[in-house]
């Protein structure tokens, strides 16, 4: 059994046999999108269980209840994930506890044509050790979702369906929990409130950790990896043509050469017929995109995320210039 050291009184977080539980000494008021006991309920246990990547069931709620029974728990709020729950990320900030598991192999963008089910999901459990109104619990679901999407954006994770910026997966679940009791309850939990700020930071950090360290999505992924994420098959298609014997290894090596990629970017921009782009603006654009492309630190500054998106519009053309300059 794996147990996490939790400062929040009355809360225990542990994982055993593919089942993670967040258990409370006293009832929690919960609002969630969970598979089992989703919606509004009162419980002492929130459960997140690992299932095989090809999992299919006519009654997933029954499978969750069976897992809860094996853990000696009952009436649990239950979620499912293909992720290893022993690799969950746990964060505490003040009166906020966050427990998250995350995968991005099913990453998606709202509004696109995406499958209903796919392996890879983000499950987030948030416990606030302070009373909250029902409206604040609903508000918390919004804040948690926005914070999760921020982690996706910071890591520049793309939809596996369209290559567009992903905001999550098609199967994500969130549970917002609070201790009922005396005292003035939180009436709001938006990103402008103190509790919302704590929640947002903890959720972003937890999801970022899961996705970057445990799911193969580091912020310094190679340029061609990012190109494949945006336009699956582009590199393979390019190499299938007459490219004078250039291989994927050649492109990978060239793309890791910062000076060479920067020169390719300069050549690309120089070829643009864009009168409105003055020489000074062109130089500033190249410098900005170069900074976004060649960041190597694990942490990405928020200011550079916008330019990172901009940079990826030219990645395909850069690949062609790299190959052409061989």
Among 34, 30, 32, 36, residue whose Cα is nearest residue 177 = 30
- Least confident among 59-63, 276-280, 309-313, 315-319: 309-313
User: What does the alpha-carbon distance between residue 141 and residue 145 come to, in Å, rounded to a whole number?
Assistant: 6
Tokens representing residue 30 in the block: 């919960």
| Domain boundaries along the sequence of the chain | 2-214, 223-324
Q: Does 308 score more than 50 pLDDT? A: no
* 119 pLDDT tier (thresholds 50, 70, 90): low
* 267 pLDDT tier (thresholds 50, 70, 90): low
Report which DSSP code applies to 64. H
- In this predicted model, which residue has the larger pLDDT, 175 or 307? 175
Give me the architecture of the 2-214 domain, per CATH: 4-Layer Sandwich (3.60)
Tokens representing residue 149 in the block: 């999407």
Q: Are the C-beta atoms of residues 226 and 319 closer than 8 Å to each other?
A: no
* 162 pLDDT tier (thresholds 50, 70, 90): confident
Give the mean pLDDT of 244-256.
71
Region of residue 66 (left: phi > 0; alpha: psi -120 to 50; beta: else): alpha
Which tens digit of pLDDT belongs to each residue from 172-184?
Answer: 999 999 998 888 9
Which tens digit of pLDDT belongs to each residue from 22-80?
Answer: 999 999 999 999 999 999 999 999 999 999 888 888 898 999 999 999 888 888 999 99
């Amino acid at each position: 059994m794996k147990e996490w050291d939790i400062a929040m009184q009355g809360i225990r977080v542990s994982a055993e046999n593919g089942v993670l539980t967040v258990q409370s000494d006293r009832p929690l008021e919960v609002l969630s999108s969970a598979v089992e006991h989703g919606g509004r309920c009162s419980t002492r246990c929130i459960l997140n269980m690992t299932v095989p990547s090809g999992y299919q069931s006519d009654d997933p709620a029954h499978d969750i209840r069976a897992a809860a029974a094996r853990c000696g728990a009952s009436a649990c709020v239950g979620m499912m994930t293909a992720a290893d729950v022993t690799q969950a990320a746990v964060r505490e900030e003040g009166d906020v506890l966050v427990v998250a598991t995350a995968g991005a192999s099913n990453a998606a963008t709202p509004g696109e044509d995406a499958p209903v089910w796919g392996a890879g999901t983000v499950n987030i459990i948030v416990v606030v050790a302070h009373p909250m109104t029902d409206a604040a619990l609903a508000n918390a679901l919004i804040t948690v979702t926005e914070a999760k999407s921020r982690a996706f954006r910071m890591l520049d994770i793309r939809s596996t369906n369209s290559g567009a910026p992903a905001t999550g997966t098609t199967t994500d679940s969130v549970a917002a929990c609070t201790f009922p009791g005396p005292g003035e309850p939180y009436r709001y939990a938006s990103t402008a409130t103190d509790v919302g700020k704590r929640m947002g930071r903890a959720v972003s950090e937890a999801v970022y950790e899961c996705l970057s360290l445990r799911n193969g999505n580091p912020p310094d992924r190679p340029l061609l990896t990012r190109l494949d994420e945006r336009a699956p098959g582009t590199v393979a298609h390019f190499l299938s043509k007459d490219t004078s014997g250039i291989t994927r290894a050649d492109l990978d090596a060239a793309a890791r050469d910062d000076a060479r990629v920067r020169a390719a970017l300069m050549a690309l921009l120089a070829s643009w017929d864009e009168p409105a782009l003055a020489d000074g603006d062109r130089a500033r654009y190249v410098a900005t995109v170069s900074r976004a492309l060649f960041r190597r630190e694990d942490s990405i500054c928020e200011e550079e995320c916008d330019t990172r998106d901009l940079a990826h519009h030219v990645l395909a053309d850069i690949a062609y210039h790299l190959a052409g300059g061989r």
